[in-house]
Structure 1
Amino acid sequence: MNSFVPQEAALKTNSPQPVHLETAVEMILQYAQPVGTGKIGIRSALGRVLSEDIHAPVNLPPFNRSPLDGYAVRSEDIAGATTDSPVLLEINKEITTESNGNGKVELGKNQAAIVMTGTPLPPGADVVIKLEDVRKIEQKIEVVSPLPAYSNYCFAGEDIRQGERVLSKGTVIDPSSVGILAALGISVVPVYRRPKVAIISNGDELVEIDKQLKPGQIFDSNSYTIASYVRQVGARPIMAGTVGDNTELIARRISEMLKSADMIITTGGVSVGDFDLVRNALLSQGVKILFHRIAMRPGTPALGAVKNGKLIICLSGNQAAAFATFHLLAIPAIAGLMGITRPPLTITTAVLHDNYLKTSTQRNFLRGRTFFDEGVLKVKLAEKQNPGIIRSTLYCDALIDVPADSAPLQAGTRVKIVLIPSPWLQQN
């Protein structure tokens, strides 16, 4: 892990020394702990995170069952069956799905019982013959070939054994998980509480989207973008509005949000010197600064802090920069608050579709869109990579990680990418 300049030393300068992204994430995750637990019905559990392991209360299937439509028989009765010397078995009409389930009627010698897919097998039966493999003659069936014992036979607990752990603590409940829970008769599950994430946009130029623009003003888009992503990954966004370029007002809004939110994300007001409004506001509140400035572009000014165990992540006001640093910094933090144990970011490689003339010695995260070409995953650069170009985030589903001091990249180069959106998604 790369080292970083101690915060005390950094605070003595107008331009704090940047830390590596991995270092910043590591510091954030130390404080990204689950925020509470509760119970929820499985009808509403999609996208929630289990706070305890789930063990099977019953076997699945709970009885020996047939995997297909056919006839349940005893393997010893058909051991000598051939085309020239077929075996005739009498259909036992007393054996029904109900009698199979309670085991009251046992299959006798040289008998067969009609069974359907998923139904219990009668005691004594150890083979199921497919319907199409026999010939029915009145109330008997003709069998022309033997089958080994337990052919076409599903044992009780063959899928899941009673007491077996089927879902682990920290698992995001997906549709398959809901199906498993329902199959086991589990209607309520323990989950972590969904964290509340307050979003504050800073800047005199910002106005709400329902207001009339005046010269020099722009609509606040960052709040809506970030709130949508927060909701998409399963947390609860609190849109705390816009604040002007005033340290005291920023400090007051952050203090208010710390009372109700589990985490705060701000955009704008992070820079250096007199323009470093958010950092100064945080220091006035006695907040512990974890890091300020990251060795990457876009989003270098990003700041991480903590107060009373609650994380505060401050991002650049440039839309594309906020977009990148939200996914690289805030997503891991939200995952920790939700109790998710799987890696919060999906990192893989793809083949670069375009040439890229790198002009900075810093590490770059470029916006791109992935696609498959003859079975090969490729990534195409957004047309404009300026951190203030919001359109570059449209249809963006990957951030291309270009190392510091990298030479210009040629089309066809294999590059590392961070996939967007995150691996877990839930509309709430």
Structure 2
Amino acid sequence: MKKNIEIEEAFKIFESSVKDIGIEKISISKGLGYILAEDIFSPINQPPFSKSAMDGVTLNSKNLKENFKFTIKSTIYAGDNCSISLGSNEIHRIMTGAKLPPDCDIVIPQEYCSFQGREVVIQKYGKKGDNICFLGEDFQRGELLLKKGEKLDYISLALLSSIGVTEIQVYKKIKIALIITGDEISNPWESLKEGKIFDSNGMLLTQRLKELGYEVDIFEYLEDSTLKVSQRLKELASKVDVIITTGGVSVGEKDIFHEAIDLAGGEKIFWRVNLKPGTPALFSLIDSCPVLSLSGNPFAACVTFEILGRTLLGFLQKDSLLPLKRNSGALLSDFSKGGDKRRFVRGKFCNGKIEIPDGLHSSYALGSMRGCNVLVEIPSGSNGVKSGDEVVIWEL
């Protein structure tokens, strides 16, 4: 087991440890949030024919005549397939979205026309090609529209619908188990007993995962029993793709996860990461199922999930958008806490500036996290940072 590793080394370990989750074919109506497992090439041109972009009239531009009364040959609506040829003195009335007849190359908006029964005088001319959506101008048949590995959103699904592709190959959604441990933890739906605290980690992680487009399939509270935890981990490893736990990973008498992993027949891959809060994060494999064990302190659990958990899940799901993105900004105030580890503090980032909120910056405290949208990285070995300093931020 590796100890005291850098965050970036943990990322590499995650990437090399995850297994293939498999591929399935689904309807595009169920595709939102899935990761595409194939390249998609358009089978058609878009638009599939040249069409009118306006309500108006259409003709061949070479027949345009000033102050001339054209005879309306027909009216073409969206969905019609008109192949009626025009004489030099004739014109079609045409509606938005209607297919352009083969001999027409201009659409003149109806507000530039004077209609008198079946006759029309064009009052303002344009040029060939005006107000036409041309065949294939959005994209062409055979063009690569969506790449393998893209996360499907409403636009990509609308694109698929627009080309008549109704089933797609995607990576299966990962199954996630979340285990909250600690004899001091009380379910918030139960009455609070003396010496106990209401759980916040369960709500924090289930709802954060839901915000990110992921569901927790199994959620349980377990007491600090090495035997019970080890048995449940062993059972869950065969049912889900990843297990996330909170509590029991430090060095206290009730920090049972090291022994529980061993009893479950697991392999501990690393323990302790150069970040604070959340240093004692533990990563293990039980029958090839990844187990990420986080600190039980709520803000520490939040930090380690955002930095480590999201990256692990990103590799598992092949979701390149899930891991946090790094940026930089200038501090608006001093922050005096440094130390020998990379410290992460809550912050609010806007227009290149970072505000570190007042309030408690403890590993258990969530109150001052409200409204924050970044984690501010304070470099290891520093004595804190000053107003105006440029620092790295991890965007939540």
Q: Could you tell me the TM-score, scaled by structure 1's length?
A: 0.85
Preserved CA contact (<8 Å) 1:368 1:382: no
Comparing 44-53 with 136-145, greater Cα deviation is found at: 136-145
Secondary structure at 1:331 match in 2: helix
Describe the shift of the 1:290–1:107 C-alpha distance in structure 2 as closer, same or farther (beyond 3 A).
farther
Q: Distance in 1 between matches of 2:14 and 2:226?
A: 24
Q: Distance in 2 between matches of 1:243 and 1:202?
A: 5
Partner of 1:151: 130
Q: Which has a greater percent of strand?
A: 2
Describe the shift of the 1:108–1:39 C-alpha distance in structure 2 as closer, same or farther (beyond 3 A).
farther
Partner of 1:97: 77
Q: Distance in 2 between matches of 1:145 and 1:70?
A: 12
Deviation (angstroms), 1:30: 2.0
Deviation (angstroms), 1:319: 0.4
Partner of 1:179: 158
Partner of 1:396: 372
Q: Distance in 1 between matches of 2:293 and 2:87?
A: 76
Describe the shift of the 1:323–1:296 C-alpha distance in structure 2 as closer, same or farther (beyond 3 A).
same
Residue 221 of structure 2, aligned match among 231, 242, 248: 242
Secondary structure at 1:405 match in 2: coil
Preserved CA contact (<8 Å) 2:176 2:217: yes
Comparing 117-126 with 408-417, greater Cα deviation is found at: 408-417
Deviation (angstroms), 1:21: 0.6
Residue 11 of structure 2, aligned match among 25, 31, 40: 25
Comparing 110-119 with 251-260, greater Cα deviation is found at: 110-119
Residue 413 of structure 1, aligned match among 367, 389, 394: 389
Deviations, residues 59-114 of structure 1 (Å, cap 9, x unaligned): 21111111222211211112xx5xxx534432212x5237x843432333232211
Q: Does 1:73 align with 2:73?
A: no
Q: Distance in 2 between matches of 1:111 and 1:418?
A: 65
Deviation (angstroms), 1:156: 1.5
Partner of 2:67: 86
Secondary structure at 2:5 match in 1: coil
Q: Distance in 1 between matches of 2:156 and 2:263?
A: 47
Partner of 2:209: 230
Preserved CA contact (<8 Å) 2:250 2:280: yes
CA RMSD of aligned residues (A): 2.3
Preserved CA contact (<8 Å) 1:198 1:265: yes
Residue 186 of structure 2, aligned match among 190, 202, 207: 207
Deviations, residues 313-361 of structure 1 (Å, cap 9, x unaligned): 0100000000000011111222222222446222222332332112323
Q: Does 1:381 align with 2:362?
A: no
Partner of 2:270: 291
Describe the shift of the 1:25–1:376 C-alpha distance in structure 2 as closer, same or farther (beyond 3 A).
closer
Q: Distance in 1 between matches of 2:392 and 2:97?
A: 47
Describe the shift of the 1:345–1:124 C-alpha distance in structure 2 as closer, same or farther (beyond 3 A).
same
Q: Distance in 2 between matches of 1:252 and 1:142?
A: 86
Preserved CA contact (<8 Å) 1:363 1:401: yes
Secondary structure at 1:30 match in 2: helix
Describe how 1:57-68 pairs up with structure 2 within 5 A: 57-68=43-54
Amino acid at match of 1:386: S
Residue 282 of structure 1, aligned match among 261, 276, 296: 261
Q: Distance in 2 between matches of 1:43 and 1:272?
A: 49
Partner of 2:21: 35
Preserved CA contact (<8 Å) 2:338 2:379: no
Q: Distance in 2 between matches of 1:138 and 1:38?
A: 59
Q: Does 1:113 align with 2:92?
A: yes
Partner of 1:367: 346
Deviations, residues 357-405 of structure 1 (Å, cap 9, x unaligned): 12323111111233x4xx5554433522100112233333211122112
Q: Distance in 2 between matches of 1:91 and 1:378?
A: 65
Deviation (angstroms), 1:236: 2.7
Describe the shift of the 1:34–1:354 C-alpha distance in structure 2 as closer, same or farther (beyond 3 A).
farther
Q: Distance in 2 between matches of 1:213 and 1:97?
A: 69
- The sequence identity of aligned pairs, in percent, is 30
Amino acid at match of 1:182: S
Comparing 355-364 with 391-400, greater Cα deviation is found at: 391-400
Preserved CA contact (<8 Å) 1:294 1:301: yes
Describe the shift of the 1:121–1:384 C-alpha distance in structure 2 as closer, same or farther (beyond 3 A).
same
Secondary structure at 1:317 match in 2: coil
Q: How many residues align?
A: 396
